[in-house]
Structure 1
Amino acid sequence: MNRKPYSAGAVKFAFWFPEFRKEIAMISKGLSLDEIKTACLEQNVFNASTPARATMIYQTVTARIQELDASIYPLFQQSDLATQKLINLTAIMMHESLFFDFMYEVFKEKILIGTNELSDKDIRIFFRDKQLQDSKAATWTDQTLQRLGRTYKSYILGAGLSDRGQKTRKLFKPILDPAFETWLVQQHLEPIIKALTGV
């Protein structure tokens, strides 16, 4: 798994599962990325509010998909909805190193010790620690960190790993589909398994 510099770009992003699923289906049908990009801009296949938004969704979803080996496409198409959402979350973790660290250091620990609750304080502590470790993160404003926290909460909610609690959210340990878990092991992505299951 390639580590990337920490980024706050996710403040503009969403879970974008329907778009992720649609793009994988288009790739599986043999469409090129250029053809998919054209469909996004000219046919608005992602139902974006503006052309600029369509471009950002296409670029982000494509970057996430490109983190995954192409062998995931048939597995994704055959998987149930819960597994498809976890595959999307995996792509996000691989694309955003800071979010992976959040899952590995916060979500995994909550699942491991059995507290299964995530508070805004937990998120603030995580970001404060990262600001001490990373000079780029140290420059981010409180507003940026709040927006990032909201994005991360939307990611885990979209993946079915939390409820919609306000101050505190209940976390749910996923049951990994054996075929998906095998794929993760084959791709040497055991840290993703640990991040998701606490094991």
Structure 2
Amino acid sequence: MTLKYSAGLISQSFWLTETREILKLKKEGTTEEEIKKMCVEEDLFNTQRESYSLRIYRDVTRRLKNIDDELIDIFLSSDISTQKLINLYLIAKNDRLLFEFLFEVYREKYIIGAKSLSKSDLNTFFNNKELQSDIVKGWVETTKAKLKNIYFNFMNEANLLTDKDGEKLITPPILDPRLENYLELNGDAAILKAITGVS
């Protein structure tokens, strides 16, 4: 089933530390219900607010709904750079518009030799999507502006972009071979191409 376009990311953060914490607990055999209970009783994510902690839990576990033991093992045994890429992969796998931005804009800019991404690249992308989708067309400008900021922020977090002198420089990663093989074998070659900028 094809994912519908969603603006759900406007209420989310990258949440790498929280994802790592949940995956460690899952690896140890902790159930989802037990993790949820820890959010309430132990303030698992150090938020000091039960409602916010539960919201993080809900959103992160939604990202992790299709993760398997192999990817958990790759994540937990990897360096921070690879963990960031896996986290972005998990987000993009559950957010069609972010994936399409990575594949249609980030990847294409890298292929043609562009050195940076600009706000105009994001604006053009959203304008095109408005022509293709009534859902995107129906979003108010503030929603689209927040999503644009989030896309840049998430790509910075994952080191796909580097800020320098006011520019967003394109910095495609070199993937851990284990992650590359995993994505190829699990039918996610498109996401692999999107985050590495390959044709």
Give the match for residue 154 of structure 1.
153
Over the aligned positions, Cα root-mean-square deviation in angstroms equals: 1.4
- TM-score of the superposed pair, with normalisation by structure 2: 0.94
Shift of 1:104: 0.5
Partner of 1:82, secondary structure, is helix
Give the match for residue 52 of structure 1.
51
Structure 1 residue ranges without an equivalent (≥5) = none
Change (3 A) 1:110 1:8: same
Give the match for residue 183 of structure 1.
182
Confirm whether residue 134 of structure 1 aligns to residue 133 of structure 2: yes
Give the match for residue 93 of structure 1.
92
The whole-number CA distance in structure 1 between the counterparts of 2:137 and 2:121 is: 18
Q: How many residues align?
A: 198
Structure 2 residue ranges without an equivalent (≥5) = none
The whole-number CA distance in structure 1 between the counterparts of 2:29 and 2:128 is: 44
The whole-number CA distance in structure 1 between the counterparts of 2:167 and 2:40 is: 39
1:141-193 per-position Cα deviation (integer Å, ceiling 9, x unaligned): 11111100111111101111112358631120110111110111111110011
Partner of 2:134, secondary structure, is coil
Comparing 180-189 with 65-74, greater Cα deviation is found at 65-74
The whole-number CA distance in structure 2 between the counterparts of 1:149 and 1:163 is: 16
Residue type matched to 1:29 in 2? Answer: E
Partner of 1:164, secondary structure, is strand
Change (3 A) 1:154 1:166: farther
Residue type matched to 1:57 in 2? Answer: I
Give the match for residue 80 of structure 1.
79
Shift of 1:52: 2.0
- Residue identity (%): 35
- TM-score of the superposed pair, with normalisation by structure 1: 0.94
1:35-87 per-position Cα deviation (integer Å, ceiling 9, x unaligned): 11111122111122522221211111111111323321111111111111111
Comparing 165-174 with 81-90, greater Cα deviation is found at 165-174
